[in-house]
Amino acid sequence: MLGISMFSALLPEMQVMWSLSNSAAGWITGIFFFGLALGVPVLVSLTDRVDTRLIYLLSTALGGLCMVGFALWAEGFWSAMLFHTLAGVAIAGTYMPGLKALTDRVSDTAQPRAVAFYTSSFGIGASLSFFIAGEVAAVLSWQWAFGVAAICAPLAMALAGWALTVRPGTVHVAPDHHLLDFRPVFRNREAMGYILAYSSHNWELFGFRGWLVAYLVFSQTFNPGYGHWNVTAIAAVVVLLATPASIIGGELAVRYGRRRVVTGVMTTSAFLAAIFGFAAVLPFPLVIALAAVYSIFVSADSSAITAGAVRAAPANGRGAVMAVHSCLGFMGAFLGPLAFGVVLDIAGADHLLGWGLAFGALGLGVLTGPILLATMANRRTED
């Protein structure tokens, strides 16, 4: 996970060094998740048929090689696009396959809590990625930041190889459909409601994380007295709040109803997006506080949405549901940062209005989540 936020953390520096427009920066940020969306249909579906460990370990190795490639050979837009796309494919073979391995090893009653803890670890990895990128680049170089992420890949492989032991009596029961036949998933309206909501969630989440450091740098132009504050360390702390937020959101969903909690969180998050984009002129500590609150609501629905999709999946088709969940979800993650950059280029990155409209676009995207969730629920009730 340490490579996932490297480019976002170093975005202001990389834009200047490679003369990138905001749209180009959005492409590089988002293409990571496009690669992820490309990889999950095959890699996650395979978990219903073969040992998940093999997929996980090979994908982790690919991720490490991509970080090496970025450190040594990335020198502009196209080379960065290549290595970021392949890095996304690597995450496709670790994140959801790891979740599949976990849910295969816990009882149905323990799944919601297990999913909450697992998905929240995504936030820990993203937070560490921001922090390590900023600290290593400041002391050494941006290339070494990616190098550290590469070094951690074999450590992850060792941990996974030790943890993902084969349970006695484990047998893979092949699903009654072909590998890339996702028609049963699309007919599963309950699962599709949560899958579409996940796409809306990721549109906002990764748009926010992808442009957070750049936004904080923009806010510092209105607060020159705080220009010495470490924005990558601040972003790391802000992103880290996703961990408890996701866990608490999952617990609230179990207690008060998953759809009700997801709808409330997404609606509140859309409202905060409309405010946060215009907050750059406020005192910098207040901007950070608003970023923290916004980050909590951006992430609080994550585990509840994923748990809803997992619980709606049949036992021998869980990998296929997770594949569609990831594919459509991370297409949202690809489009969110890209749309943000395009809006900035159109409205002006040097003006408060441009940032306000860009964050407003994230809010409009996440607001479709409750609408889609309610629509699928109504259709299911009619059946």
Q: Spell out the domain ranges in the chain.
A: 6-164+184-382
Report the chain's C-alpha Rg in angstroms: 20
Burial environment of residue 381 by CB neighbours within 10 A (0 to 12, 13 to 18, 19 or more): exposed
Q: Which residue has the tokens 């834009």?
A: 15
Please classify residue 254 by burial: count the beta carbons closer than 10 Å to its beta carbon, then call 0-12 exposed, 13-18 middle and 19+ buried: middle
Q: For position 13, what pLDDT does the model report?
A: 87
Report the candidate in 82, 72, 77, 70 with the shortest Cα–Cα distance to residue 17.
Answer: 77
pLDDT of residue 180: 63
The terminus-to-terminus CA distance of the chain in angstroms comes to 41
pLDDT at 316 (0 to 100): 64
Q: HSE-up of 225 (CA within 13 Å, CB side)?
A: 5
Contacts of 276 (CB under 8 A, 6+ apart): 290, 291, 294, 359
Instruction: State which H helix or E strand residue 382 sits in.
Output: helix 352-382
What predicted TM-score, i.e. pTM, was given to this entire model? 0.80
CA distance 13 to 186: 42
CA distance 8 to 185: 33
pLDDT at 383: 35
Per the structure block, which two tokens stand in for 264?
A: 């409330």
pLDDT of residue 382: 37
pLDDT of residue 178: 57
Q: How many CB atoms lie within 10 A of CB 144?
A: 14
The pLDDT of residue 96 is 78
Q: CA-to-CA distance for 230 and 368, rounded, in angstroms?
A: 34
The correct CATH number of 6-164+184-382 out of 1.20.1250.20, 3.30.1370.60, 3.40.50.12280, 3.90.550.10 is 1.20.1250.20
Quick one: pLDDT at residue 108?
67
In this prediction, residue 138 carries a pLDDT of 86
* Calculated CA dihedral for residues 206, 207, 212, 218, nearest 10 degrees: 170
pLDDT tens readout for residues 20-30:
888 888 888 88
**pLDDT for position 67:** 92
| Under 8 Å between Cβ of 85 and 32 | yes
- Distance, CA of 124 to CA of 246 (rounded, Å): 11
Residue 226 near residue 284, CB atoms below 8 Å? yes
Q: Give dist(CA 82, CA 256) in Å, integer.
A: 44
Query: Which residues of the chain fall short of a pLDDT of 50?
Result: 168-171, 380-383
Cα distance between residue 16 and residue 349, in whole Å: 14
